[in-house]
Amino acid sequence: MPRQLLAFDLGAESGRAILGQFDDNRLELRQLHRFATGATAVLGRLYWDVLRFFDEIQTGLSAAAADGGDLGSVGIDTWGVDYGLLDADGALLDNPRNYRDPRTEGVMERGLARVQRQQIFAATGLQFMPINTLWQLLSMRETESPQLTAAQQLLMIPDLLHYFLTGERACEFTNATTTQFYDPRQRRWSTELFDAFDLPPRILPDIIQPGTRLGAIRPEVAANCGLPRIPVVVPATHDTGSAVAAIPAHGGDFAYISSGTWSLMGAELQEPNVSDAALRYNFTNEGGVGGTYRFLKNIMGLWLVQETRRTWQSQGRDRSYAELTEAARQAPAFGALIDPDDGRFMPPGDMAARVQEFCLETGQSPPQSEGAVIRCILESLALKYRWVLERLEEVLGRRLEPIHIVGGGIQNKLLCQLTADAAGRQVVAGPAEATAAGNLLVQALGLGWLDSVEDIREVVRTSFAPRCYDPAHDGERWEQAYRRFCRFLPGEIPD
């Protein structure tokens, strides 16, 4: 009989309980429970409601119990950078803030006036983004937060949820590397950086590797959910770490995009790259399964489409993602373009208005129809992927092909085709559920059912059929669009 595992995969929009049935060769997935995870705004602050998340996780566990069958283990993945603080009694001091919370505005710039950018990058290898955990903590230090004074331990969001499940506290490696105070070469927390910013090293937990057996679910959780005390095996708790583990690639000369709310584009390395070129282009080194590193850049991704749709819904214009994509397909190609990573697109809000504002500021005729707005966003994302691919190949000194795209974003077939067209490379799309598959198969690795990352990828190749997209024959028009697009990037005017 197939062996069963349970993954909880939480993203910025929703969370799911995914049951995996594994027969040593193939993995089958089935969703047992789904719930909303969006941020909660209170008094000008943006929070994650982690206690509700934990309640939903127990609902998912109860659904697994009702489904029957023995679970080998359970594990949780979420996004990176966000955290909760515990007091001396192990109690949560406050609901964790969402990384889009305005408290970090200007903090990174002030921090870089105290400690040089080169020094921080040499110590952490992480790209500079105001959402990083380091700047969130520094914002608390700047305001003399009593919570930071009282805190005895920091746990990243998936580690916090694992703590609620087991009572055990540790920080899993792939999420630790998103903080901008983990040293990838020393393979430890950068306490020197903590000292430089007057942050308390006492809050830093032990670091464990993906596949570690953390413990068993607590007796009261087991009783409440109708389960025995099943093991908790931590996956790559950063969702992109789980997704990259499940890329059905052969060899190492491929690029990847984990496509969802964010697009994370990079290559897989055996050692971190902290070169001057990596710093110049603001690449990051995040941990992967098997001691690997995800050398990548964060790109704003489908957040722009999600927020556009949400705003239009609030105005009574309710459109499904499929309807918006079809409208974009019908809209004229090669119209106005934006830099998806312009700072105005980070906070929640009316993205269509911001797209039009960007276009007016850059001397372009702004898109007016719904289809034209979405087409502008998708073509701009595809061109940003090409820009990042070229920088990756420049820094690493090798050609990367094909481009593997995994995650929910592959359901946007138009974006997949535009990516192949813009980059002039074959795109291999799938699986859509790479994060859940990676979560489950890393659990299998931790239980000894698999032996390596290559074993994981072989199971993925056997279990999920990809879809391939070849570049269309309009390369000259894309070249013209790319030269125009690059003019909107800071300091990037092509020859």
- Active-site amino acid positions: 239
* DSSP letter assigned to residue 96: P
296 three-class SS: strand
Packing angle of the helix pair 321-330, 413-423 (nearest 10 deg): 40
Amino acid (one-letter) located at 453: V
- For 234-340, where are the E strands, in sequence order? 255-259, 263-269, 284-287, 293-299
Query: What distance in Å separates the CA atoms of residue 123 and residue 98, rounded to the nearest whole number?
Result: 25
Entry field: residues in the chain: 495
Query: What distance in Å separates the CA atoms of residue 478 and residue 127, rounded to the nearest whole number?
Result: 29
State residue 3 phi and psi, 5-degree precision.
-85, 150
> Shortest CA distance to 364 belongs to which of 481, 254, 238, 454?
481
231 three-class SS: strand
> Shortest CA distance to 455 belongs to which of 24, 164, 90, 59?
24
Cis status, amide bond into 366, omega within 30 of 0? no
The DSSP H or E segment spanning 421 is helix 413-423
Looking from the CA of 134 toward its CB, the CA atoms found within 13 Å total 34
- For 11-164, where are the E strands, in sequence order? 14-22, 27-36, 40-42, 45-47, 71-77, 83-86, 153-156
Residue 2 CA to its chain's centroid (Å): 30
Q: How many CB atoms lie within 10 A of CB 58?
A: 17
